[in-house]
Amino acid sequence: MRFDSYETLSAWDFAWPSHGDGPWRLSLAGIEAGLGGNRRAIGVYWIGYAPGGDQGSFVAKYCGKAVKQCLYRRLLQHARHSSNAIVRTHLASEDLPHLYFRYVELPNLQLAELLEGLEIAAFAEDYWNKRNEWIQHWAMDDDYPRK
């Protein structure tokens, strides 16, 4: 899914269609399948469970953004050696459920920071993220500090 502006992102109702692209296994093959030739895409991604292997069964447990590096590279970091201990544990275990990911492509840092910040704040108790950078909630304001 791709959003080209703040207006299209703000109109999104956060409901994913039960059928369609994704989620993909958090693995090299899954990342290749999910991003295909789109290796320069930036945006926000979710990692979680998909017991049915489809969007309708996807349960997000981690949210992150990839803007200083592309989604492809950031997801590969998670698949190879995630900075998140829970993700690492799942990927190393034969007994825990497989992890999946999905993503939205965004045109700039500000939209990615806004979406990631809102997601983590909304679902902080259920997510594996340990931090919420509250300043991200004002990422679209004119006086937001640009990185």
d(CA 26, CA 45): 11
What is the share, in percent, of the chain residues with pLDDT greater than 70? 70
Domains of the chain, each with CATH number or no CATH = 6-138 (3.40.1440.10)
What is the structure's pLDDT at 128?
73
Q: How confident is the model at residue 144 (pLDDT cuts 50, 70, 90)?
A: very low
CB 97 within 8 A of CB 26: no
What is the structure's pLDDT at 25?
94
d(CA 78, CA 101): 10
- Which of the two residues, 18 and 78, has the higher pLDDT score? 78
Rg of the chain, C-alpha, whole Å: 15
Render pLDDT for 52-97 as a digit per residue (tens, 0 to 9): 887 788 888 988 888 889 999 999 999 999 988 999 999 999 999 9
Segments in 36-142 forming alpha helices (H)? 71-81, 85-92, 109-123
Average pLDDT over residues 16-22: 62
Q: How confident is the model at residue 124 (pLDDT cuts 50, 70, 90)?
A: low
Q: How confident is the model at residue 137 (pLDDT cuts 50, 70, 90)?
A: very low
Buried-state track 113-123, b at ≥16 Cβ within 10 A, e below 16: bbbbbbbbeee
HSE (side-chain half, CA atoms, 13 Å) at 131:
7
Handedness of CA 37, 73, 27, 58 (dihedral sign): negative
Q: Read off the pTM.
A: 0.78
Per DSSP, the three-state class of 135 is: helix
Across all residues in the chain, what is the average pLDDT? 79
